[in-house]
A and B are shown apart, each in its own frame.
Chain A
Amino acid sequence: MASVGQTVTLSEKHSRRKVLSFPNLSLKKLFKRFIAIFALLIIWEISPRLGIVDRTFLPPFSEVIQAWWQLVLSGELLSHFKASLARSLTGFSLAILFAIPLGLLLGWYRPLAEILTPLLEVFRNTAALALLPVFILILGIGETSKISIIVYACSWPILLNTISGVKNVDPLLIKSAKSMGLSSFRLFQKVILPASIPTIFTGIRLAGASSILVLIAAEMVGAKAGLGYLINYAQYNFQVPNMYAGIITISALGLLFNWILIKLERYFTSWKSTQSE
């Protein structure tokens, strides 16, 4: 009898431990994931306080967060954030609308691609920001030039990935579809397009990153709103905590952008790997 009782308590304990250990495990994961960021923030907080770095140039993290919160409360940050988001989303979407069809066309019509590839290579290897003065010269200092440079910068990764996606569709799949008597158009629609979606998405993700990169640079040159403007303005007026607050917001925006795009990518390419359980 006693032994039976023992086993019961044992199993009870065991099951309880299991229930308890589950959240522990996810906490551990969370800890592992954010430990490096956490460490950086601690160093950021401590080094100015200990006088390792000059706190006028690098105020402790807590002060930056306070400044950030003030900017949020005053509504200033939101208006800058909105301005930036509108620009990058407009540029990014226009680039998608423009570069994907063009890429599909170039990937599908080989002769056209052969003629244009050298030109594309020249433009791709010219840093987008080097062309910013040209854009401003031609399109003025307003929104048009800012959005145009974002469209320009975003188009390259999307365009080149779309071309290579279309070009690198498994020839066996094409052969198989052809053997079922599909017309060129149907072949494109039913095989080439879905097969190249993963590669196109990689391009879109790269474009997402460069849209923010270029956005900030464009806003630093002649803008009256936007996070790039905020950073620049804060630096000129020696509001150093505000400057860092702007920088943090930008990295948050970048992370958010990337996260959304990864989610979308997973959704559209769930057939590809085993990540969908």
Chain B
Amino acid sequence: MSVKISFQHVNKVFNIKQGNEKNSQIQFTALHDINLEVKKGEFMVIVGPSGCGKSTLLDLLGGLTKPTSGKILIDGKSITGPNLDRGIVFQQYALFPWKTAQANIEFGLEAKGISKSERSERAKYYLSLVGLSGFENRYPHELSGGMKQRIAIARSLAYDPDILLMDEPFAALDAQTRETLQSELLSIWEKTKKTIVFITHGIDEAVYLGQRVAVMTSRPGQIKQVIDVPFDSRASEEDLRSNQEFSEIRHRIWTLLREEVLKAQELERNKHLSTSYKNLSKKEVIARG
């Protein structure tokens, strides 16, 4: 299979203002030397501890920010900005609250300049694909979290992108809804043959969904290891999660992640300690003054 997405030595550094002084900017490395290839039609999952730069990685892919150095290629071409060849699904749905379910799905099609009748037809098709036929005229506030995320997925699928980018899309849902949506996503993926980059912090979710799972390190974010998950057809398997192989892979990722989580916690603790120490010394100065 051909390479769809290719990260080549990608770095992302943010300048962050610290304190009130104007020149006290510190550099914050979010991503460090990311190298990763995603094949056409592949389901790639990226897991990492919180704050490791997973979402930054997705923003870069979406063209919402630019890398500080390095290249991201899609079909061999550098990303120049956001485009409808990539669709993003966010954790918080990001549906337009003033639009009905149908109008939300039509939104991207409108941007693509598709005629009104075809828009409506396609929206109806994708609504049925995510199992929400009959909910055309509902507003987002009238829908449950799971339904909203289905609409958001339908919206991204409707303008037919090659790549679907998903930023912890099921993290805000309850366990049952999450499982249902996971298996539905798999069957949609098998039907539509999209390349999917899926970000999560859930290990089970990663192993269940991904053909390959990329484990990221804590700050600065790097790709620690990419693990193959060799199940053929996930959707047809009855209870994949209780499979022996599944738990072995799950454990491997868990071990990899645990070191990073501990490191991240350490970092966090030190940061808090140093800031509280700073505050303390400030108080001392004031008291002395």
Contacts and interface: CB of A to CB of B under 8 A. Distances in A.
Interface of A: 170, 172-173, 175-182, 186, 190-191, 194-195, 197, 269, 271-274
B142 A176 contact: no
A175 B94 contact: yes
Nearest to A198: B98
B277 interface: no
Contacts of A272: 97-98, 141
A132 to B, nearest CB: 39
Interface in B91-145: 92, 94, 96-99, 107-108, 110-111, 139-142
Interface stretch (B34-42, B80-88, B225-233): B80-88
Given A180-B111, A181-B84, A195-B98, A175 B64 contact: yes
19 contacts: A173-B94, A173-B96, A177-B107, A178-B64, A179-B82, A179-B87, A180-B107, A180-B108, A181-B81, A181-B82, A181-B83, A181-B84, A182-B111, A190-B110, A191-B96, A194-B96, A194-B98, A197-B98, A272-B97
A181 B86 CA distance: 10
B142 A178 contact: no
B111 A186 contact: yes
A173 B84 CA distance: 16
B90 interface: yes
A271 B141 contact: yes
A44 to B, nearest CB: 44
B159 interface: yes
Contacts of B94: 170, 172-173, 175-176
B62 interface: yes
A172 B92 contact: yes
B142 A179 contact: no
Contacts of B82: 178-181
Contacts of A271: 97-99, 139-141
Nearest to A173: B94
A209 B64 CA distance: 43
B interface majority secondary structure: loop
Nearest to A180: B108
Interface of B: 62-64, 81-84, 86-88, 90, 92, 94, 96-99, 107-108, 110-111, 139-142, 159
A179 B96 contact: no
Contacts of B83: 181
Contacts of A178: 64, 82
Contacts of A194: 96, 98
Nearest to B97: A271
A180 B159 contact: yes
Contacts of A274: 141-142
Given A172-B92, A273-B141, A179 B64 contact: yes
A213 B99 CA distance: 37
Of the listed residues B82, B110, B141, the one surrounded by the most CB atoms of chain A closer than 10 A to its CB is B82
Contacts of B140: 271
Nearest to B139: A271
Contacts of B84: 180-181
Contacts of B111: 180-182, 186
Contacts of A273: 141
Of the listed residues A182, A269, A271, the one surrounded by the most CB atoms of chain B closer than 10 A to its CB is A271
A203 B282 CA distance: 43
B174 to A, nearest CB: 21
A178 B62 CA distance: 9
Contacts of B86: 179
A10 B99 CA distance: 49
A233 B139 CA distance: 54
A121 to B, nearest CB: 22
A176 B167 CA distance: 12
Contacts of A170: 94
B88 A179 contact: yes
Given A180-B82, A181-B81, A181-B84, 17 more contacts: A172-B92, A172-B94, A173-B96, A175-B64, A176-B90, A178-B82, A179-B62, A179-B87, A180-B84, A180-B87, A180-B108, A181-B111, A190-B107, A194-B96, A194-B98, A271-B98, A271-B99
